[in-house]
Amino acid sequence: MRLPHPYGIIIAAKSIGENVMIGQYVTLGGNNCKERQGSNGEPIHTPVIGNNCQISTGSVVAGPITIGNNVVIGANSTITKDIPSGTLLYNSTGVSRHSYIVPGWKGAFHPV
């Protein structure tokens, strides 16, 4: 895990994969009101982050969700649903309530 600016970061995640970059003011957190069963039957309340992910500044990843491998989450995004592998997710400038998801994105994410 890489924390280039380790300020204001809250990490409460079930697991975080290899080669993950987390920007400043990111929150990874759970929701005790929601849960789902993990692969071995244990309850999951917090996010599961895959390998080779980038979670950019000010983003919130909340709930019992799974972020796949090779995912880039743009700045100030709020994620409350599962994100498949190979996805770029970002908020459009001026449209703060909507997110744009580009599945199968083969962009310029460079592993740390």
Per-residue pLDDT of the chain (112 residues; tens, 9 = 90+): 888 888 899 999 999 999 999 999 999 998 767 777 777 788 888 999 999 999 999 999 998 999 999 998 988 888 888 888 888 887 755 444 445 555 555 554 444 3
Give the per-residue pLDDT at 39. Answer: 72
Residue 99: Cβ within 10 Å count = 17
- Report the DSSP pairing between strands 15-16 and 36-37: unpaired
Give the per-residue pLDDT at 69. Answer: 92
CA 2, distance to chain mean position in Å, is 14
pTM: 0.78
Give the per-residue pLDDT at 42. Answer: 80
Residue of 4, 46, 45, 44 lying closest to 25 (CA atoms) = 4
Give the per-residue pLDDT at 43. Answer: 81
Contact indicator for 97, 80 with CB cutoff of 8 Å: no
Could you tell me the CA-to-CA distances from 21 to 11, 15, 41, 76 in Å, in that order? 12, 14, 29, 15
Could you tell me the CA-to-CA distances from 74 to 35, 85, 86, 112 in Å, in that order? 26, 15, 14, 17
